[in-house]
Structure 1
Amino acid sequence: MSDDDDQPAVTAEEVRGVADLARVDLSDEEVETFTEQFEAVLADFESLDEVPEVESKPDLVNVMRADEVAEGLTQEEALENAAETEDGYFKGPRVS
């Protein structure tokens, strides 16, 4: 709710305006229901302001090993188990 208790946090006109933007037809009863629901949602968000902030250490740490340079496969070694090759490359099925 707003600081001024005389003014509602959400008005029926605002709900109708949002419904018009969304191109949704609402009955008067639906407008009243949505107005109450929107006010409740806004009150819930305002209660989050009361939660104290805490500083915490991150729970996750980097457990990855450092990169190490190693010998890779030669082109011939990489292709030796391929079903088909062509001009030193893997050959796959035609897709077009």
Structure 2
Amino acid sequence: MPEETHDPAGGVISRAEVAHLARLARLAVTEEELDRFAGQLDVILASVARVGRVAADDIEPTSHAVPLTNVFRPDQVRQGLTQEQALSGAPAAQEGRFQVPRILGEEQ
């Protein structure tokens, strides 16, 4: 972070940096919101930094914090609909397929 914008009081992000981010995002923020957002972003960035400092060399990578069990029933092969049964409720069919209105032009 540039020295002139960083908060020397020890915060991770300064009001000036929040104002700069708001301008980049084209957000209109008040002076009061700048103070509030700077404090909130400080808490978020400090929390992320704390997570980054965790000694995780002996921890296996996981996709979830707790073990998950598949709660679905096993797949079972069973008879599906015939082509005639599937098309029987269609408002229009042509050459053994559902017929739908064209939504794209002729150009390809």
**How would you bin the TM-score normalised by the shorter chain?**
0.5 to 0.7
| Larger RCO: 1 or 2 (CA < 8 Å, sep 6+) | 1
Q: Give distance in 2, aligned partners of 1:57 and 1:19.
A: 36
Cross-structure match for 2:21: 18
Aligned-CA RMSD value: 2.8
- The structure number with the bigger radius of gyration is 1
Runs of 4+ in structure 1 over 4 Å off:
57-60
- Structure 2: give runs of 5+ residues left out of the alignment: 1-7, 69-81, 88-94, 102-108
Q: Percent identity between the aligned chains?
A: 22
- Normalising by structure 2, we get a TM-score of 0.50
- Structure 1: give runs of 5+ residues left out of the alignment: 61-80, 85-89
Paired residues in the alignment total: 67
- Normalising by structure 1, we get a TM-score of 0.55
Q: CA, structure 1 residues 57+19, in 2 after alignment: closer, same or farther (shift >3 Å)?
A: closer
**What is the one-letter code of the residue matched to 1:12?**
R
Q: Identify the match of residue 48 of structure 1 among 47, 51, 72.
A: 51
Cross-structure match for 2:97: 92
